[in-house]
Each structure stands twice: as structure tokens, then as C-alpha cells.
Amino acid sequence: MNILVLCTGNSCRSQMAEGFLRKFMNNNDTIYSAGVSPEPVNQYAIQVMEEVGIDISGHTSNHVNEFTDSELDVVLTVCDNAYEVCPAFPGSVRKLHHNFIDPSNVEPEDACILNVYRKTRDTIEAYCVELASEISS
């Protein structure tokens, strides 16, 4: 199964979801992530994922256009903006959507910034556990 997780910047939420789906899906499944306006992978996202044993430090941000000709089974949009501008994909792609809070909207000097990232991470993890169970059966 080929799964694309799509977000606006491909810097945080989609990177987290990619990491969790790689952990929870079968080894023969391929998980990608992309953004409609890619930005570098967020350092706080890397840090909070590391806390749960998932290394996304080697992930890169990709543009959704890199995947428009790919054979995908599932496209998961993880923010409303990506859902609204999601391009069409060939074939019978299953489209799923769940809007997760964007932790990067928090001011960097906020002392609790990591807690915001952890909350988003934990919400994405719970969703990915359920999704992996649903689509791999």
C-alpha cells in the first residue's frame, strides 16, 4: 500500500504522521509525506518525535507535485488548507482528512512550546494507530 500524508508545509504534522505510519503499518507499505508549500522539517517536531523513539531527522520536505503521477492508495490530508487545495491523483485513491492543530503557530519564546508539539504528536499518534489498524485489515 502506498500512502501520502499531505500538509501545508510538510514540516511538522505530516512528518509526524509519516513517522507514526511507518511504525504502525506493515513493512511492505510505503509511506510518503509532502506539502503544498514545503518548508524545512521543524526542529521541535524532530525533538518530540525523538522522545517517543521515532527519528524523523533524516526526513526531507517534499512538494505534492512530486507525487501527482504516483500510484497511491491513500492520501491523508492533515490540515484544512491541504485538504482544500489537494490536487487530483490518478486511479482510485482513497482520500482521508483529519485537521490537526498546527503547533508551529505557537510563538517560539513560549516556555510551553514543546508541550504544544507533544499534544499534537500524541493526537497524531492516536489517529495513526486507528488508521493503520483500519486500512491494513
Question: Distance (Å, rounded) from C-alpha 21 to C-alpha 5?
Answer: 9
* pLDDT for position 61: 96
**What residue spans define the domains of the chain?**
2-135
* pLDDT for position 27: 84
CATH class of 2-135: alpha beta
* pLDDT for position 75: 96
Q: Are 44 and 114 in contact (CB under 8 A)?
A: yes
Three-state secondary structure readout of 43-58: HHHHHHHHHCCCCCCC
* pLDDT for position 137: 60
* pLDDT for position 25: 95
Per residue of the chain (137 residues), what is the pLDDT tens digit?
999 999 999 999 999 999 999 999 988 999 999 999 999 999 999 999 999 999 999 999 999 999 988 899 999 999 999 999 988 888 889 999 999 999 988 776 666 889 999 999 999 999 999 999 998 76
Per the annotation, the verdict on 128 as an active-site residue is no
Per the annotation, the verdict on 12 as an active-site residue is no
